Amino acid sequence: MKAVLTSTNKAKILGAAKALKLLGVKDITSVPVSTGIEQPLSFEQTLSAAIKRIENVINRVNADYYVSIEGGIIHDIGYLIEGQIAIIVDKQGKASVGFSSLFPLPISFKEKLSGGKTLEEAMYEVTGIKRIGEKYGAIGYLTQGFITRVELSYQAVLTAILPFLNTHLYKELIDINYLKKILKTRLDTQ
């Protein structure tokens, strides 16, 4: 079976590949996709970017599964929380969403990120490590390597593929248009 991952980020590729093995996926093609959102700063922006990634490849490349992973920051509880959202869509158009664990960022990052910097740029200022998001990510630095971005990508994709692993329990799935409708409703109520 073949999957298309909507990113060329090495950490995302490794994490997704580990999870997709459970579905019998042996062939993964990674495709660079622009979302137009450099640094998602809300749940809605993160979900929107993940949806855009899927939409940008689903009609261009033939595959059994299309996988999108998007890291984003949530402000909703007074300080910054980071995590990843994964969307997987099968060739019939059925979709599922999964999430990684979330982790707090230093409060000092709020000003950097609201000023237009990406998390990777903010981490570079603090650590001097270039392209940390391609390596072990902010989580890898903050946990001193105990959890890495590969692991967060794995968690997000693993939780997204649950319906495809347990078809006897998940008899109905949503599609990408339903996800877009939910997102629009959330954005309209803000």
**Per-residue confidence in pLDDT tens, the chain, 190 aa:** 999 999 999 999 999 999 999 999 999 999 999 888 889 989 999 999 999 999 999 989 999 999 999 999 987 677 899 999 999 999 999 999 999 999 999 988 888 888 888 999 999 999 999 988 888 899 999 999 999 999 999 999 999 999 999 999 999 999 999 999 999 998 888 7
Q: In the prediction, which pLDDT does 190 show?
A: 74
Q: In the prediction, which pLDDT does 78 show?
A: 77
Tell whether 189 is covered by a domain. Answer: no
Cβ partners under 8 Å of residue 67, min gap 6:
3, 4, 5, 6, 16, 20, 86, 87, 88, 157, 160
Q: In the prediction, which pLDDT does 186 show?
A: 86
Instruction: Provide the residue range defining the domain that includes 167.
Output: 2-103+148-182
Angle between helices 149-160 and 10-20 (to 10 degrees): 40
Tell whether 142 is covered by a domain. Answer: no
Tell whether 130 is covered by a domain. Answer: no
Q: In the prediction, which pLDDT does 82 show?
A: 96
Tell whether 133 is covered by a domain. Answer: no
DSSP 105: P
Tell whether 96 is covered by a domain. Answer: yes
Domain count, the chain: 1
d(CA 67, CA 54): 7
- Is the separation of the CB atoms in 42 and 56 below 8 Å? no
Tell whether 128 is covered by a domain. Answer: no
Tell whether 127 is covered by a domain. Answer: no
Tell whether 140 is covered by a domain. Answer: no
**Secondary structure element (H or E) that encloses residue 18, with its range:** helix 10-20
CATH code where residue 61 lies: 3.90.950.10
